[in-house]
Amino acid sequence: MRFNKTGYSNEDLLFLYEQILRPRMIEEKMLILLRQGKISKWFSGIGQEAVSVGAVNALNTDEFILPMHRNLGVFTGRNIPYARLFAQFQGKLSGFTKGRDRSFHFGSAEHNIVGMISHLGPQMALADGIALAHKLKQAEKATLVFTGDGASSEGDFHEALNVAAVWDLPVIFVIENNGYGLSTPSSEQFRFKQFTDKGPGYGIEAIQIDGNNLLEVHRTIKDAVEKVRKKPRPIIIEALTFRMRGHEEASGTKYVPKALMNKWAKKDPVENYETYLLKQGVLNEELIQEIRAKVKTDIEQGLETAYSENIPTANTQIETEDLFAPFKQEVIVPKSQTVSEKRFVDAISDGLKQSMERYPNLVLMGQDIADYGGVFKITEGFINEFGKDRVRNTPLCESAIIGTALGLCINGYKAMVEMQFADFVTCGFNQIVNNLAKIHYRWGQNADVVVRMPTGAGVGAGPFHSQSNEAWFFHVPGLKIVYPSNAKDAKGLLNAALEDPNPYLFFEHKALYRSHTQEIPDDYYTAEVGKAALASEGNDLTIVTYGMGVHWALEAISQLEGITADIVDLRTLLPWDKEAVKESVRKTNKVLILHEDTLTGGIGAEIAAWISENCFEFLDAPVMREASLDTPVPFTKTLEENFLPQKRLLEKLKSLSEY
């Protein structure tokens, strides 16, 4: 291996030597502990240390780095105290996840490290968001994210690179090409020869390096970092390297040809660098022993402290509280009494605009939302007031944009993502349910992101532009869901969602956009999250519903002579207002839950179960549900009407009242 030390002082060279020795020595110790059954699982980076160490030392410590599962050198390079690092591996409280996540699945705000989720690829878009924040602040900083060659097959890889290219984001994408993804060799993973071939396709400069040559890695990445700080743009660095141990320790390396192992053993990044420094007279045996002894002491002391700490005792209250960043809503009333008649769609637009004025760090992203104003025209004219930096047209890539939104938040911004139609959220599902929803619980990072969801049927738009998909998210701890039924709530709840530093799904019914109008306050205000409202009051039965269901319920009740009903408009689905439901059921003793979403596993199922368990003694009839058929949403009017619950509602209400 040929090293070039031009530009490095002896001190620099020795510093890097100690830096690369640290992850190697920690790993050697961990492998012993693993054999002794003292840690549960280990992803080895032995053989790949030069990549992590070269990269982390090429950045300033105030620049973000986003490691994967073989980048121990990143954590040691950012001087994380070993006791804390080992406590993390052991699931102890003083680690980074309070025992909630394992190994390298954590981040640390104070060290500017953003940890991975197991799904690998989603990590890359977070780097885009962090870099976008830097770019908007004109901070002249680089962000560096790692990925493996295996994870490059994920769509997230493509999306993140593409967004970074289109938006000229200062991200260094380090692809650690170690030839295998678990047991799958590159030949079964992709057809291209090398990752640098991908650069031109994305319009991104791409550089290939010997990932086992510490100085080459360090120098190349340092140069790249300097370039992107000055002129923001992404750069791909393909680091050729090899994993000398199994995917994780239990899985072994039987599938790797012996000759390949031997070839790479000769290229060991630590040994080669050490030999080089010895030859250059920078290092000698005595110094090696001295440095090793120092590192050994650090490891042993760290382990001793970590082992002396007890395994955490579980506290359910803390577990549920930590789902969200602390935030206590203070409902804001409008400053003046002035009101205007507004359509549902205009109320949303109004709220969004006032939130943009209120939060100069709020960034809007979505397909066609800039000059075009969005397909529903909610952001029409926004670019004139707020500019294209804050009202961003995105490429067609829901996953990367939601990931980018989280990255923006990590770096000090608030973000709103408009789904063009709620249906398309499937393409961003992973980022929502695994990143946005879990990140605060896992390592205390909030996700200040609102995803707006134009939803619902009744507009003849067929199976992919009409779905109600709130129930998919209702099941996910760590999300908040609001679903207004009227213009006043729409503005107030949107403002409330944008105010809260936690992740929201904001459902807005397309069929209400231009059909429903209401007098709403002109000033900024918020509506209370988690609080239902009575859309009508009565004594004979209760209808629990939300969104379009509120309008169907009002109409149905008006047609039922001699029957009055409480119509409980939930307004918020996560958390939903159990007390309001209980209070009404206590009064009327009969309840129907109505929603536009399909019946099976819908939100009604959960509410019905809760009522049965908590309001049983008040009930004079079975808890009933009315919902859409358990089919996709059909296109033709007659079929769509048959699908939706509205035409079955009257009969259902009659049977409930007569029960």
Which of 89/524 has CB closer to ligand TPP? 89
627, HSE (Cβ side, Cα atoms, 13 Å): 24
Report CA-CA distances (Å) from 523 to 220, 274, 501, 512, 520.
54, 68, 22, 22, 9
Which of 182/311 has CB closer to ligand TPP? 182
Query: How many residues bind ligand TPP, per CB under 6 A?
Result: 14
Residue 51 touches ligand TPP, criterion: CB under 6 A: no
Q: Is 234 helix (H, G, I), strand (E, B) or coil?
A: coil
Query: Using CB under 6 A, which of 44, 76, 178, 379 touches ligand TPP?
Result: 178
151-155-158 Cα angle (round to 5): 90
Which of 247/551 has CB closer to ligand TPP? 247
Residue 428 touches ligand TPP, criterion: CB under 6 A: no
Residue 102 touches ligand TPP, criterion: CB under 6 A: no
Distance from the Cα of residue 54 to its chain's centroid:
28
Report CA-CA distances (Å) from 151 to 172, 177, 309, 535.
16, 10, 36, 50
Which of 151/270 has CB closer to ligand TPP? 151
Q: Which of 491, 627, 613 is nearest to 553 (CA)?
A: 627
Give the C-alpha separation, 437 to 434, whole Å: 6
Which of 44/526 has CB closer to ligand TPP? 44
Which of 150/645 has CB closer to ligand TPP? 150
Residue 174 touches ligand TPP, criterion: CB under 6 A: no
**CB distance 1 to 276 below 8 Å:** yes
Which of 249/298 has CB closer to ligand TPP? 249
Residue type for position 98: K
- What is the closest distance, in whole angstroms, from the C-beta atom of residue 45 to ligand TPP in the complex? 8
118, HSE (Cβ side, Cα atoms, 13 Å): 7
Give the C-alpha separation, 395 to 532, whole Å: 37
Site string for ligand TPP, 534-573 (x = CB under 6 A): ----------------------------------------
Which segments of 128-188 are extended strands (E)?
143-148, 171-177, 180-181, 184-185
154-145-388 Cα angle (round to 5): 85
Contact positions with ligand TPP (CB under 6 A) in 235-264: 243, 247
Residues 6+ apart with CB under 8 A from 1: 210, 212, 213, 267, 272, 276
- What is the closest distance, in whole angstroms, from the C-beta atom of residue 185 to ligand TPP in the complex? 10
Residue 289 touches ligand TPP, criterion: CB under 6 A: no
Which of 211/458 has CB closer to ligand TPP? 211
Q: Is 397 helix (H, G, I), strand (E, B) or coil?
A: coil
Residue 74 touches ligand TPP, criterion: CB under 6 A: no
Binding segment (CB under 6 A) for ligand TPP, from list 162-170, 175-183, 206-214, 551-559: 175-183
Q: Looking at beta carbons, which residue is closest to ligand TPP?
A: 148
Cα torsion 451, 414, 334, 523: sign: negative
Contact positions with ligand TPP (CB under 6 A) in 180-239: 180-182
* b/e 257-289 (16+ beta carbons within 10 angstroms → b): eeeeeeebeebbbbebbbebbeeeebbeeeeee
Give the C-alpha separation, 220 to 207, whole Å: 8
Does the annotation count 111 as an active-site position? no
DSSP letters of 504-565?
EEEEEEHHHHTT-EEEEESS-----TT--EEEE--SSEEEEE-THHHHHHHHHHHHSTT--E
Binding segment (CB under 6 A) for ligand TPP, from list 134-142, 176-184, 323-331, 348-356: 176-184
Query: Using CB under 6 A, which of 40, 61, 118, 301 touches ligand TPP?
Result: 118
Site string for ligand TPP, 134-173 (x = CB under 6 A): --------------xxxx----------------------
- What is the closest distance, in whole angstroms, from the C-beta atom of residue 107 to ligand TPP in the complex? 17
Which of 149/268 has CB closer to ligand TPP? 149
- What is the closest distance, in whole angstroms, from the C-beta atom of residue 144 to ligand TPP in the complex? 16
Query: Using CB under 6 A, which of 22, 24, 29, 70 touches ligand TPP?
Result: 70
* Residues linked to residue 411 through DSSP beta bridges, in sequence order: none
Binding segment (CB under 6 A) for ligand TPP, from list 26-34, 113-121, 212-220, 339-347: 113-121
- What is the closest distance, in whole angstroms, from the C-beta atom of residue 635 to ligand TPP in the complex? 33
Binding segment (CB under 6 A) for ligand TPP, from list 112-120, 196-204, 312-320, 505-513: 112-120
Contact positions with ligand TPP (CB under 6 A) in 6-25: none
**CB distance 526 to 491 below 8 Å:** no
Q: Which of 69, 158, 247, 465 is catalytic?
A: 465
Query: Encoding tokens for residue 191?
Result: 């057809």
- Footprint of ligand TPP (CB under 6 A): 70, 118-120, 148-151, 178, 180-182, 243, 247
Return the active site residues.
465
